Amino acid sequence: MGCEKITYNSSLITHNSDDKGGGMDEILEILEKDARTTSDDIARMLKKKPQNIKEAIKKYEKEGVILKYKAVINRDLIKDTDSSVRALIEVNITPQKDVGFDKVAERIYSFPEVSSCYLISGTYDLLLIVEGKDLHTVSRFVAEKLAPLENIKGTITHFLLKKYKEDGVILKQREENKRIAISY
């Protein structure tokens, strides 16, 4: 593939789909690693003008390339938090004629309990990340909303027990009382 050149106030930003980043702009790579990086810092890193970086970011936001800025939160370290339950749900579906998986997936990801929905290869077709206030809430979602849908052939639910790493960030674990090993 060739090189697509986009100009922002005489600053040249190059997208090259042959590089190891899969064509993702350097600005996007920096923001994906740390969304709090300022335009001025990015400009210094890339040796570009800060105004051009700001314009590029605004354009990415307007075009829907940048959808949201988010923080990775280690909920295990927050005291007195309402602990929610997350589950990975594999879903086997029958694709609809002329529209494939898209319409079924759209129906499923419209549920507020579904935080993520992916088309996957393998035995199952979709992978969902579902959140609820407890195990029963997630179970009810599967039994009462998901499984009865017309094109659903089967589901497998995996409840997440502990997070070690999320979005490339290793989560520090709360220090718990360590038991002393007793040997006889």
The per-residue pLDDT for range 8-49, each reduced to its tens digit, is 333 334 444 344 444 469 999 999 888 999 999 999 999 999
Instruction: Supply the pLDDT for residue 73.
Output: 74
pLDDT > 70: percent of the chain: 80
Is residue 124 within 8 A of residue 95, CB to CB? The reply is: no
Give the pLDDT band (50/70/90) at residue 84: confident
- The whole-number average pLDDT for the span 81-105 is 89
So where are the chain's domains?
A: 3-63, 78-161
Instruction: Supply the pLDDT for residue 149.
Output: 96
Closest to 121 in 3D by CA, of 151, 90, 99: 90
78-161 CATH, one of 3.40.50.300, 1.10.287.40, 3.40.440.10, 3.30.70.920? 3.30.70.920
Is residue 158 within 8 A of residue 86, CB to CB? The reply is: no
| 165 or 21: which leads in pLDDT | 165
Residue in this structure with the two tokens 């017309």, named with its chain if needed: 150
| 55 or 23: which leads in pLDDT | 55
What is the Rg, in whole angstroms, of the alpha carbon atoms belonging to the chain?
Answer: 22
The 3-class SS string of 62-102 reads HHCCCCCCCCCCCHHHCCCCCCCEEEEEEEEECCECCCECH
- Measured between alpha carbons, how far is 42 from 29 in angstroms, rounded to an integer? 10
What phi and psi values does residue 12 have, to the nearest 5 degrees? -95, 120
| pTM (two decimals) | 0.67
Instruction: Supply the pLDDT for residue 32.
Output: 87
